[in-house]
Amino acid sequence: MVITKQHIVSWLQRCAEVFTEQRDFLTQLDSDIGDGDHGLNMNRGFNKVLEKLPSVADKDIGFILKNTGMTLLSSVGGASGPLFGTFFIRAAQSTNAKQSLDLPALCQMLKEGAEGVVMRGKAEPGDKTMCDVWLPVVDELELARQGELEMLEALRHGVDRAQRALEATITMQARKGRASYLGERSIGHQDPGATSVMLMIEALYQVASRE
């Protein structure tokens, strides 16, 4: 199977649902090591994305992703708004004019998106940020691509890896963003931004495995 434009639209709709369902949980995570706004930020951002979807749903994947990035950039705020915005804007580049993505194309899209987040936020692996889930997921999908796994199987591996990578943020000490002000006290808490990335990967698997 391939990821179609309709899958991408459904993915963004599912993200909006998930960030509504998980708003309070994410905000709780961010209260532990930040300022308690992450769930609200993501919920606001993806509600705006949802609102704008009907006006872009007939365009190509690159256009939809770019529009999503610009919407997140202007509505999420905080540290994570520009970072998620950058993810989608960069992910849009290789998907420009495309109506569907095979596994190599999906890998490329996620890889360029994640590289954009690293360039913008300058986080290193282990800094306890969203990059600690983005990068392992990209690695895992790259392995799946090399092993010529089927799309759904590849995404399932991606979700498993995202969940393990997310759990690994618990024992990390934050070195970027607001949580870094806590120093060692940031250890023992799951990173909110990394949690959002895991939820987005899970949402992609869910919409791909529907039907």
Ligand X SMILES: Nc1ncnc2c1ncn2[C@@H]1O[C@H](COP(=O)(O)OP(=O)(O)OP(=O)(O)O)[C@@H](O)[C@H]1O
- Site for ligand X contains 203 (CB under 6 A): no
Question: In the complex, which residue's CB is closest to ligand X?
Answer: 193
Of 37-45, 64-72, 86-94, 201-209, the segment contacting ligand X by CB under 6 A is 37-45
What's the Cα-to-Cα distance from 203 to each of 165, 182, 192, rounded to whole Å?
16, 31, 17
Least Cβ distance, residue 64 to ligand X (angstroms): 23
# residues contacting ligand X (CB under 6 A)? 24
Q: Does residue number 34 form part of the binding site for Mg ion (CB under 5 A)? A: yes
Query: Within 10 A of 104 (CB to CB), how many other CB atoms are there?
Result: 12
Which amino acid does the sequence have at 177?
A: G
Non-local CB neighbours of 101 within 8 Å, separated by 6+ positions: 2, 3, 61, 95, 109
Build a one-symbol-per-residue string for 105-144: x at contacts with Mg ion by CB under 5 A, - elsewhere. ----------------------------------------
Place of tokens 């869910």: 206
CB-nearer residue toward ligand X: 98 or 169: 169
HEC assignment per residue over 135-195 = HHHHHHHHHHHHCCCCHHHHHHHHHHHHHHHHHHCCCCCCCCCHHHHHHHHHCCCCCHHHH
Q: Does 129 bind ligand X (CB under 6 A)?
A: yes
Q: Which of 172, 149, 176 is CA-nearest to residue 160?
A: 149
Sole binder of ligand X in the list 41, 95, 186, 190 (CB under 6 A):
41
Task: Confirm or reject binding of residue 89 to ligand X (CB under 6 A).
Answer: no
- The correct pick among 30, 112, 127, 140 for binding Mg ion (CB under 5 A) is 30
Angle formed by the axes of helices 192-209 and 151-168, nearest 10°: 160
**Among the listed residues 130, 141, 165, 172, the single contact to ligand X using CB under 6 A:** 130
Q: Residue 116 burial by CB count (10 A; 0-12/13-18/19+): exposed, middle or buried?
A: buried
In the set 7, 12, 37, 141, which binds ligand X (CB under 6 A)?
Answer: 37
For residues 134 to 173, the per-residue mask of contacts with ligand X, x marking binding by CB under 6 A and - elsewhere, is: ----------------------------------------
Name the segment binding Mg ion (CB under 5 A); options: 8-16, 29-37, 183-191, 198-206: 29-37
φ, ψ at 101 (rounded to 5°): -130, 125
Interacting residues toward ligand X by CB under 6 A: 30, 34-35, 37-38, 41, 78-80, 83, 117, 121-123, 129-131, 176-178, 191-194
